[in-house]
Structure 1
Amino acid sequence: MKKILLFFLSLILTVSILGKNVKYERVASINLSSDEMLTALLPENRIVGLSGKINEDKDMSNISDIAKKYPKIEKNLETLLDLNPDLVVGADWIDSNIIQSIKDAGIEVFIYKTPKSYAEQKEVLLSLGKVLDEEDKSQEIVKNMDERLGAVQEKIKALSLKDKPKIMLYTPYETTSDEKTSFNDIVNLIGGINPVVGSGVNSFEKISKEKVIELDPDVIIVPVWTSEINNEEFFKYLLDDPSFQDIKAIKNKQVYGIPYKKISPSSQYMIGGIEEMARRVYHLEDLK
């Protein structure tokens, strides 16, 4: 019952913003995904600040060059207030105390549910487009995403594959990705199967070596974050460990390192991740 009440309360808050016929002129973002969406929806002069230095990391951010133009907030309330925004945009995982402090300062806040699928991502973009009075732009972005997805799926369909490939995420932290993630949806959209689903292993939970062997994926995707993770060391462990040698992905050299920004973006750049995954898995070199 509490969850239901919270859901309707968040819906009312969202509708209260959507119902205002206001064109916000000084918009700030407090997380990377919001940065990526705002810079696509708004002209530069309507954005007063973005989340932080993370948006300049080439492995994590799809706007690493664009982001250099803007002040960085870094979850600092004083910095945010100095920018004098009339709207702050953020995801639902942001600390509720930070959100409340922003509201207490008299600033409107738009918080969106973090999308865990392609469909949910489009909904977020369209909702944000309404809030910002940029509906045409958001619809244009979504249309482009759908057209690109259609092109990818047509190329995969033309391969006339007999079996769906088992595609598994395996991080240098020895964690993986279950059915409640955008990675899983990307796998489904490109005609694959995530072997982790139904295996009893949850995202962010360390997966045992024995379980990886049991799941026997056809393709292993390793997220790359050069500044924080020693990927070379992990690839060496993965490819050289004798116990892994019978896994199809290892045996057939179907292990691919892909930047985090391609694997788990919660923005319109999810379509770029879909294209990249399809390109690697199916060797479709003509994809972007």
Structure 2
Amino acid sequence: MKRRAATGLLIAILSYIFLLTTGCGNSPREQTPPPLGGYSVTDSHGYVAKLAHKPQRLVSLTIGTDEMLTGLVPAERIAALTYLADDSSISNISETAKQVPGKIRANAESVVAMSPDLVITADWQAIELIQSIRDVGIAVYVYKTPNNIAEVKQVISELAHVVGEEAAGARIIADMEAELLATGRIIEQVPPDKRQVVVNYSLMGGMGGKGSMFEDLCRYAGVIDGAASVGLNKDGLLAKEQIIKINPDILLTPDWDYTGKTDFKQFATDLENDLALRQIKAIANKKLVQIPDRYVYSTSQYIVYGVSRMAKAAYPQYF
């Protein structure tokens, strides 16, 4: 579930928890194989990871990579996933994750204790952590976090090469494209002047914006990201005045809080009773919608299910 504590509770965890990388101009480049048949890959930081063979003890430090790796390699090749992999509210692999006993947080001691032959993490991870792992002789591959669905597919291909499973990567991408195509064929029936405007209203406020994964999700779902429509950038938050100006048809509300303390029913009630927001169409027409956050905030292959869920929520008559 995707950039951490700097923006606060939910955004910290949901927006950048996730983890994958684009690979735009940074896709792994295989070097001349070592004499014993190994290979080398260059990550988004320019670091060359030398691998004697396909990694057999992988450690993932982001939830997005958890989801990618479990699709690319068998569980026995994964030494550890993140502690969030078991949480079905934000993880799309909570059942599969049970096959991997190792669960860790992003700290050097936990990683080193797993004796991995390759660690995969995101470019927002603290460079001090990355270097401390490398200092004990463990290879770390750092990917560039994706901002759209095309980049998610690109990073799947990238990581598939890194772990030596190109065919599995191609299958995942093909499945994503099939899901997007099926949704797209339905969305084609919606007249342009009937396209719905959506505001993603998180626990911190309205978010999304230009260049964000959410904007791209909306584009594929045939809806308009309200935050992007008023020029918000991907790291910003909407003020209530901006939400009123947008006047969205749908308010997307959250269903996960990593603290476990939020009453989401009360959260929705408070929105409905907000005197400043009562005038917008989404509240007047009772169009507060929940789509699982594990889809909405995904930066793995599961983002396509966020697209189909969003499209169905906006245009149920076409499904």
**What TM-score, normalized by structure 1, do the two folds share?**
0.88
Alignment check: 8 A CA contact 1:224 1:231 kept = yes
Partner of 1:236: 269
The alignment partner of 2:222 has SS state of: coil
In 2, Cα distance between the equivalents of 1:55 and 1:285? 34
- Deviation (angstroms), 1:229: 2.9
Partner of 1:66: 96
Correspondence for 1:135 among 166, 183, 189: 166
Alignment check: 8 A CA contact 1:17 1:131 kept = no
Higher mean displacement: 271-280 or 244-253: 244-253
Partner of 2:295: 262
Partner of 2:125: 94
Higher mean displacement: 191-200 or 99-108: 191-200
The aligned runs of 1:96-245 (5 Å cut-off) are 96-160=127-191, 162-203=193-234, 205-225=236-256, 227-245=260-278
In 2, Cα distance between the equivalents of 1:165 and 1:132? 41
In 1, Cα distance between the equivalents of 2:180 and 2:47? 33
Alignment check: 8 A CA contact 2:291 2:306 kept = no
What is the alpha-carbon root mean square deviation over aligned residues?
2.5
Judging changes above 3 Å, is the alpha-carbon distance between structure 1 residues 140 and 82 closer, same or farther for their aligned structure 2 residues?
Answer: same
In 2, Cα distance between the equivalents of 1:9 and 1:201? 27
Alignment check: 8 A CA contact 2:153 2:301 kept = yes
Alignment check: 8 A CA contact 1:102 1:109 kept = yes
Alignment check: 8 A CA contact 1:60 1:261 kept = yes
In 2, Cα distance between the equivalents of 1:9 and 1:144? 24
Unaligned runs of 5+ in 1: 1-6
Q: Percent identity?
A: 32
- Deviation (angstroms), 1:258: 2.1
Higher mean displacement: 88-97 or 137-146: 88-97
Alignment check: 8 A CA contact 1:18 1:131 kept = no
AA matched with 2:194 = D
In 2, Cα distance between the equivalents of 1:167 and 1:247? 12
- Deviation (angstroms), 1:245: 2.7
AA matched with 1:255 = L
In 2, Cα distance between the equivalents of 1:108 and 1:228? 38
**What TM-score, normalized by structure 2, do the two folds share?**
0.80
